[in-house]
Structure 1
């Protein structure tokens, strides 16, 4: 009997066919993205706590009316959380109450929670920074987000009294340990919310008001999908894993697009790939992306707004319309 052909013999000796190089590469890259994005941070679980429905307003409600109604809603949410035995949430809400005459344009204490807080006088401000947070920012971690807003406002006020900061926790941020944080799905829904908010915000500021979007981590994915009007003059991406877009020109905004990353930020180790909807593609600090660069110094992932940092000084300069120190090109 004739023996097997050469090709058949080689197949028999080699056993089952190995996966293609392309498939192996895609699997490896996807695993690297997951490992780099998910594991450096731990998620904070948010209990499904009872709370009153958000206060309802007419379209032309003045900011001071919104502030008063939302402070009352916050107090009631704290009481309901305490009565339900959700002491951790109750303590955090009481801390938000204790911050003084808090100025919330929106507040929802249900579930993971949402809050939009103003620092400064919107009515007289002609420079307004809107902070958009990243993953795992909830009412349970709100004080960390708020501290950055306060730090930014203090520096802005020192340079330009007619300034304000808005901390916009206006969407359900993805959990860091989740598949959602590796896709743009949550960002698309959030971008629609942010776009509507920016349209309303413009009518609350001074007549010459200019808005800057400061977008951290997954918040940069949200901003990159937000359609902005002419009042938004700057969009700043920092600590960004990518945007899902190949270049700044593809973003739906006429604003100047900036990008910066601190040398101590672990997000710089994330592979900038996009495979079948997983990952976020081009690194915004790569010159090929086409964003303006700014110096972020040695900032770690959660350090960009800390007092005394080079990154904070750069962000202040952008909001005020002056020229920040440029970052050296990233390799």
Structure 2
């Protein structure tokens, strides 16, 4: 803990040093200069550089403190394997991952995996317990659902933090059922999410890799679901960067971006989808303070809730960055309305 405290202090001093150099005009040419955009460019660059400095100090400490839990290789399925056979095989795979984690004295991981298995009734289309882990879980019956929501999470979502992701999926499923019986929710942790404090969270590298997985998954999901089922992509935080790079087919009717740092695109029209694009942000979401710029490969540009982006605005209430799927919130009501095909409440000032 003493080392961690010292590292935190080092992080603060390093970030302050970055800011001081920029204030003194000692940065690269074009920043902090006398040009009209110099001050703004300097502030934006300081923010991004400070994040990188923090990441360089904190990430190695976090990585060193967390050993990788052992786990079996993922189950392999034939093309077109039905959901029920996938669920059964993945329950067996999770049980083996529990045993291996316990044998390796990783009781914390073993306990979290037991919770995921949920009394032998959990429905996982995919599971990989290696490393941070991946999991794709279904709530509801895919074969009969005509409205399906696919949740794509943001940074720091792993098997060790899976319960908070799962709780949001459960809350959405329960809210959907109050208005429509034939619904299903898919919690898609199908990629290696970046850390919130890391260099990777500032770039699209992980998102590009994830989009290459998500697009084909949506095609397979369409084949598993009831004929004519309508799919909505609900994308939180860095997950919105993933969705903005995912090519979607005709089955996807809505792409919803919430708590988004930006997408890398200048407008909704640039996204590789014919679906309706929605955007919303809670009133207390800290991500509103993230600079919506792109500097080289850093940052994600235009704010999706900016009218200039061209997304349909929905009222996300007064919640914070982790509150969008909490029961009883305005944001959960709006997301459910979009999935069900009805008009959600809109923010004031938007037609």
TM-score w.r.t. the length of structure 2 is 0.85
2:163 is aligned with 1:143 = yes
2:90 is aligned with 1:70 = yes
The alignment partner of 1:140 has SS state of helix
| Structure 1 residue corresponding to 2:252, chosen from 224, 232, 236 | 232
Listed as ranges, the gaps of 5+ residues in structure 1 are 1-15
19 and 66 in structure 1: CA distance in 2 versus 1, 3 angstrom threshold: closer
The answer to whether the 8 Å contact 1:242/1:283 transfers is yes
Distance 1:139 1:27 in 2: 38
267 and 36 in structure 1: CA distance in 2 versus 1, 3 angstrom threshold: farther
The answer to whether the 8 Å contact 1:36/1:267 transfers is no
| Structure 2 residue corresponding to 1:312, chosen from 320, 332, 335 | 332
Q: What are the within-5 Å matches in structure 2 for residues 138-217 of structure 1? A: 138-217=158-237
The answer to whether the 8 Å contact 2:25/2:31 transfers is no
Aligned to 1:22: 30
The answer to whether the 8 Å contact 1:104/1:115 transfers is yes
Higher percent of residues as helix: 2
What does the per-residue CA deviation read over 1:270-302, in whole Å, with 9 as the maximum and x for residues that have no partner? 111100110110000000000000000012100
Listed as ranges, the gaps of 5+ residues in structure 2 are 1-23, 33-37
Distance 1:204 1:303 in 2: 31
17 and 279 in structure 1: CA distance in 2 versus 1, 3 angstrom threshold: closer
| Structure 2 residue corresponding to 1:96, chosen from 109, 112, 116 | 116
174 and 20 in structure 1: CA distance in 2 versus 1, 3 angstrom threshold: closer
| Structure 1 residue corresponding to 2:106, chosen from 76, 80, 86 | 86
Report deviation, 1:329. 4.5
Distance 1:34 1:231 in 2: 41
What does the per-residue CA deviation read over 1:64-91, in whole Å, with 9 as the maximum and x for residues that have no partner? 0000000000010011001001111111
Q: What are the within-5 Å matches in structure 2 for residues 286-301 of structure 1? A: 286-301=306-321
Report deviation, 1:166. 0.1
36 and 19 in structure 1: CA distance in 2 versus 1, 3 angstrom threshold: closer
| Structure 2 residue corresponding to 1:133, chosen from 153, 165, 177 | 153
TM-score w.r.t. the length of structure 1 is 0.90
The answer to whether the 8 Å contact 2:283/2:320 transfers is yes
Larger RCO, structure (CA 8 Å, separation 6 or more): 1
The alignment partner of 2:30 has SS state of helix
| Structure 2 residue corresponding to 1:109, chosen from 101, 126, 129 | 129
Aligned to 1:48: 68
The answer to whether the 8 Å contact 1:36/1:270 transfers is no
191 and 83 in structure 1: CA distance in 2 versus 1, 3 angstrom threshold: same
Aligned residues: 313
The answer to whether the 8 Å contact 2:52/2:198 transfers is no
The alignment partner of 2:214 has SS state of helix
Report deviation, 1:27. 4.9
Distance 2:349 2:313 in 1: 8
Q: Which is worse superposed, 292-301 or 87-96?
A: 87-96
Aligned to 2:47: 32
Report deviation, 1:328. 2.4
Report deviation, 1:212. 0.1
